[in-house]
């Protein structure tokens, strides 16, 4: 496993937050959000983060650099329900020359629901690994992700 970040349970350890309202279609017969939908929330938050940075994903893709997902980890701590307003907190937690890791904390009204982490690699138009753009490396791990999730 490449992922070695330990997502903090403290929102203060994250630099960005994006709110998502749970769709009814995202629930399952257990009456809660199906676990398979969390990666969609993480992705929506990443896209919103890039947009907030002035680096929209649509432009990155035009430059021929894509960010393939290499690994994804989610820890489900308390369920999410239909219509919940989920705050997806996010921080860039690791960077190397060709890959980076993000840590996530999902809360509803301040209450922890899940933590997650994703690892990404920069790939060129032909799908081969390439260097991260300098601005992304400069973004660096802006903050230690303090408290361990476990």
Which residues carry out catalysis? Answer: 28
Binding of a second copy at residue 62 (CB under 8 A)?
no
H/E stretch holding 136 reads: helix 134-139
Q: Contact at 8 Å (CB) between 47 and 18?
A: no
How many Cα atoms occupy the beta-carbon half-sphere of 58 within 13 Å? 3
Binding of a second copy at residue 71 (CB under 8 A)?
yes
> For a second copy, what does the binding mask look like between residues 75 and 104, x meaning CB under 8 A?
xx--x--xx---------------------
Among residues 9, 15, 17, 35, the one that binds a second copy under rule CB under 8 A: 35
Cα dihedral 139, 13, 39, 54 sign: negative
- Integer angstrom CA distances of residue 133 from 26, 74, 97, 117: 34, 27, 9, 21
CB of 1 to a second copy, least distance (A): 6
Query: Total residues contacting a second copy (rule CB under 8 A)?
Result: 41
CB of 92 to a second copy, least distance (A): 19
Binding of a second copy at residue 143 (CB under 8 A)?
no
Measure the CA–CA gap between 7 and 91, rounded to whole angstroms.
Answer: 9
**Nearest-CA neighbor of 82 among 108, 47, 43, 106?**
108
CB of 3 to a second copy, least distance (A): 8
Q: Which residues bind a second copy (CB under 8 A)?
A: 1-3, 6, 23-25, 27-32, 34-37, 39-40, 43-44, 47, 56-58, 66, 68-76, 79, 82-83, 127, 149-150
């Amino acid at each position: 496993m490449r992922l070695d970040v330990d997502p903090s349970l403290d929102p203060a350890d994250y630099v960005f937050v994006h709110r998502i309202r749970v769709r009814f279609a995202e629930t399952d017969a257990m009456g809660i959000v199906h676990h398979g939908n969390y990666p969609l929330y993480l992705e929506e938050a990443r896209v919103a983060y890039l947009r907030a940075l002035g680096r929209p994903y649509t432009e990155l893709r035009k430059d021929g650099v894509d960010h393939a997902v290499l690994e994804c980890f989610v820890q489900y701590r308390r369920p999410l329900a239909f219509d919940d307003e989920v705050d997806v907190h996010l921080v860039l937690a690791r960077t190397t020359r060709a890959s980076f890791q993000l840590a996530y904390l999902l809360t509803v009204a301040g209450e922890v629901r899940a933590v997650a982490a994703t690892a990404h690699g920069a790939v060129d138009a032909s799908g081969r690994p390439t260097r991260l753009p300098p601005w992304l490396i400069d973004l660096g791990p802006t903050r230690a992700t303090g408290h361990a999730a476990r």
